[in-house]
Structures are given as structure tokens and as C-alpha cells.
Amino acid sequence: MIINKPANMIVHPGRGNYTGTLAGALQFHFDRLSDVAGQLRPGIVHRLDRDTTGLLIVAKDNTIHHKLSGQFERREVRKEYRAIVHGYVERDSDYIETHMRVDPYRRERMCVCPPGGNAREAVTFYEVLERFAEFTYVRLLPRTGRTHQLRVHMRHLGHPITADRLYGGREPVELVAIPPSVSELAETEEPEETQTDDAPVVQAPIQRQALHAHRLEFEHPATRKRLEFEAPLPVDMQSTLELLRNAGDKRR
């Protein structure tokens, strides 16, 4: 199965979160799922963070699960994410190649570190899709699958993912609404009621890290046919992009 996971849903139980998980929902709806990952993770081949939206693969039996896991281990699964990040990303595209491990000061986070010890290689390709004055919309292609990899790499680049509080994305975006132009006011029936001296502050609707698993490509484990799936951007990311586009400060 291919699942389009919403925000604010944990994939499987852990760290005190035992209810409202995707794994629990799958068990409720399906009689048969793989148990390769254990009883608490039925069918779960890979995972997404709680507030990351988008595509997940779920295996219904153990044979399929093993074959899919093998594709992930051999890096044969192509994953594409979309993100809105803080700041103006200068390069049109580039690779981020680092090593990562658990942050020794905050165990819930990962961090970039020198090679050696328990550090693991992490590689991400990024490409700029749109630039704004203070934000950039990017396409992210992870070549490895480390925990929090994209969030850590964008922070390491100096452009944390918007509203990602764990990795320095600060609070949700606040944008200044552009007042109507003179020509627009002339077309309204009551222009005096719409005209204001100060443009109001509009808070963007993104309340969680602006990261979405947009595309998955992999080989069907039974037919060996190459499959491609896409999940459209969730409403909160679409609305935030529209606010940025309408702010009038878009850059090339």
C-alpha cells in the first residue's frame, strides 16, 4: 500500500506515544500486514517524522517487506521531498555531504559531526524551485536515509526548514499583506472601507515543519515493474507559498 500521511501523526508507537499512530490505524483496517519490524510496527517499511507529510510504503506480508527493505538498503528507492526553508539559498543546486550522529547535548536531535565512531554518512541533493526575499522553496533528494537527515542538512546549510522548532526554524512565518492598488480600490463599491493606512500582518497557515514527501519511485517487488507515485502539496504548504508569492518580493 501507498499512504499519504497527514501532519501530526506518528508512524509507530514509541517514547510514550502509543495511541493515534499510523501503525494502529493500519492494524484496525487490515487483517494482514507484515511483522518483520515487530508487532508495534506492522507493515512499516520506512518512516516519516510526526509533522512531515507525504508518501509511505506499507507491506502486507513478510516476503514483500524483505524485498522492499532490500531496495531501501541498496538505495534503489528514489525519494523526493519539497520544503520551504528560511533565507535566500544562493546556489541553484548542490550536494550536502556530511556525517551525522545523535546530538550529545539533546538526545532527541541529530547533528552533523566528523567521520568516525558511530557517525554515519549522509548525502542530500537539493535544487531551488522558487526564491523569495526571506524564504526559498526547494526540492530535496536524499541519497541516504538517516534520521532527520533533511532537517539537519538544511540547518547545516544555514537554511532551516520553516517552522521546524527542533532545528532552528523559529516560529511560523509572518507576512505583511500587500494593500490593494489604487486601480483595485477604484473598482470596489466602497473603497473607503477597504483602504487602510497600515498593512495588516497575516500569519501563514504553516504550523509545523514545512516538509513534504512528494514523490516515490521503486520497483514493484513482485512484478519488478518500476512504479512512481506523487502526493500533492498539503494545503498548509500551498497556502504559505501563495502568501509568499503574493507578497510582491519574489526573486529569481
The dihedral over CA atoms of 238, 240, 246, 250, expressed in degrees to the nearest 10, equals -100
User: Which cell numbers hold the place of 77?
Assistant: 528507492
* Count of domains observed in the chain: 2
End-to-end, the C-alpha distance of the chain in Å comes to: 39
pLDDT of residue 181: 35
pLDDT, position 172: 59
Residue 5 shares a structural domain with residue 42: yes
Q: Taking 70 as the threshold, does the pLDDT of residue 40 lie above it?
A: no
* 3-class state of residue 21 by DSSP: coil
More confident residue, 68 or 11: 68
Active site residues: 49
Residue 2 and residue 40 in one domain: yes
CA distance 103 to 101: 6
CATH number at residue 1: 3.30.2350.10
Question: Which band of pLDDT confidence, cut at 50, 70 and 90, is reported for residue 175?
Answer: low
Q: What is the pTM of this model?
A: 0.83
Q: 32 and 157, same structural domain?
A: no
For residue 110, what are the domain limits?
Answer: 77-172+203-216+231-252
Check: CB of residue 215 under 8 Å from CB of residue 228. yes
Confidence (pLDDT) at 201 = 52
Per-residue pLDDT, 43: 82
Does a structural domain hold residue 180? no
CA gyration radius, the chain: 21
CB 12 within 8 A of CB 46: no
Average pLDDT, the chain: 84
| Window from 81-90, 188-197, 235-244 with minimum mean pLDDT | 188-197
The pLDDT value recorded for residue 47 is 86
pLDDT in the model for residue 248: 62
Same domain flag for 58 and 84: no
Same domain, 54 and 110: no
Backbone angles phi, psi at 159, to 5 degrees: -135, 70
- Phi and psi, residue 14, nearest 5°: 165, 155
Residues sharing a CB contact under 8 Å with residue 181, sequence separation 6 or more, in sequence order: none
Question: CA-to-CA distance for 156 and 89, rounded, in angstroms?
Answer: 13
Clarify whether residues 167 and 83 are in a common domain: yes
